[in-house]
Amino acid sequence: MTRKIIPIVSAGSEEIGLYEASRKIYPRTVRGMFARWRWAMVFLTQLLFYGLPWVEWGGRQMVLFDLAARRFYIFGLVLYPQDLIYLSGLLVVSALSLFLFTAVAGRLWCGYACPQTVYTEIFMWVEHKIEGNRTARIRLDKESMSVEKLVKKWFKHIVWIGIAMWTGFTFVGYFTPVRELGLAFLQTQTGSWEMFWVFFYGFATYGNAGFMREQVCKYMCPYARFQSAMFDRDTLIVTYDPQRGEPHAPRRKGPDPRSLGLGDCIDCGLCVEVCPTGIDIRKGLQYECIGCGLCVDACDTVMQKMAYPPGLIRYDTQNGMEAGWSRRQLLHRVLRPRVLVYTAVLTLLVAGLLASLVARTPFKVDVVRDRASLARIAEGGRLENVYRLQIMNATEKPQHYRITADGLEGLSVSPDEPVVVDAAQSRWVAVRLQVPYGAVSAGSHTVHFAIREEGGGAQVSEKAAFLVPR
């Protein structure tokens, strides 16, 4: 494979390029423990991602961020926009978890769970099944166009587009009820925004996993760039052991490499061929390395064939590699100050989030003044202010709420009978507050609404202003 360099300056006989055209990578399939872990994560993440929107909970979609209804359902939780603090908390917990995992074990997320990794793995599997192994794929790409090549390429792209569209559909199914979305698609009645986002995410999946692949990790993902701030010399990373491997050179199986003055690396290049980002880990830690461990699997296979001990490429730390630490010593270093601080902050945050979720009132109330009539004289000569209360039931059962108010002499509330709000629904209620005319001085007075859940005992208080004209 030739590299195309665009030269910008010439320094003597040397050309220095600013831009290097990317070369297509044909990763070789590899078997081993880390490859199995990667596939286990593909199955697990995709089972959750594709399956969750179809699971029902008490007659509704179990996980649904219903944007149109401005309500989020997560298992038994019903969250309203006022509960955004919990979602923000969840994001902070996710970010901190990422920091913690990265400090302990490098780019575990990138190598095993990132959607870019997972979909690239799925798309490469499809490619392998249709176009064949690495050698066959390289040959096919070099061949001039033929019926066989055309059929294989078309078939591959059709399968890719199918997966990508299903992914886009599933993604949108987290934001609009998936069954209704499916039905609407079958009847070609979808609203334009759903259609747009299904195609948008489908197209993004097709492009990123089918064409961009490792370029997304190398050039687009910010995480690869700031991860170095989270690494230290005790972070587990995929490393090549140069003390053991060098000097590398090809050889036959049999003689002890030390007697030949060689290291254990036989320079087979397998670790480079299996690498999804196409790098040579023997050159040291590089930002392109997503920590997938496939080169570990490949090299261990080679070591086994050569009857050398495994682990020439392995998960290790920089300190551990240099000092030749045992697994026990490595694990001992895991509990270092940075990790302990991340863990403590994370534990506190999770505990705080859970405690506030448990203690949260099972309904919310918004009070809005009726701007059409600020104050008026009602029947019976009483002075009346009208408000609109939005009561949001965050439980899975219909609830009765009683509305009272205090803060002014002789204050009465209408309606005085309980208000019913259906399960996980919200309802606007017009509430009238009255005081005897002349009993309260002119101006704005603070009153407090108390909304009580009948039977449950939960109560919400809201402040409002009662206006008395001059």
Q: Which residues of the shown chain bind ligand SF4 in the complex (CB under 6 A)?
A: 238, 240, 245, 248, 265-271, 274-277, 279, 281-282, 289-295, 298-299, 302, 312-313
DSSP sequence for 208-232: IIIIITHHIIIII-HHHHHGGGT--
Nearest residue (CB) to ligand SF4, 268 versus 460: 268
Q: How many helices and strands (H and E) does the chain possess?
A: 16, 18
CB of 6 to ligand SF4, least distance (A): 26
Cβ atoms within 10 Å, residue 354? 11
Nearest residue (CB) to ligand SF4, 83 versus 127: 127
Nearest residue (CB) to ligand SF4, 137 versus 452: 137
Q: Which amino acid type is present at position 397? A: K
DSSP sequence for 43-59: HHHHHHHHHGGG-EETT
Nearest residue (CB) to ligand SF4, 89 versus 293: 293
CB of 216 to ligand SF4, least distance (A): 13
* Contact between residue 270 and residue 252 where contact means Cβ atoms under 8 Å apart: no
CB of 307 to ligand SF4, least distance (A): 13
* First-residue to last-residue Cα distance in the chain: 88
CB of 239 to ligand SF4, least distance (A): 9
* Contact between residue 257 and residue 341 where contact means Cβ atoms under 8 Å apart: no
Nearest residue (CB) to ligand SF4, 178 versus 312: 312
Closest CA to 408 of 452, 467, 461: 467
CB of 88 to ligand SF4, least distance (A): 33
Nearest residue (CB) to ligand SF4, 178 versus 302: 302
CA distances from 35 to 31, 214, 231, 291 (A): 6, 17, 24, 12
CB of 107 to ligand SF4, least distance (A): 8
**CA separation for the pair 366, 370 (Å, rounded):** 13
Nearest residue (CB) to ligand SF4, 239 versus 426: 239
CB of 215 to ligand SF4, least distance (A): 14
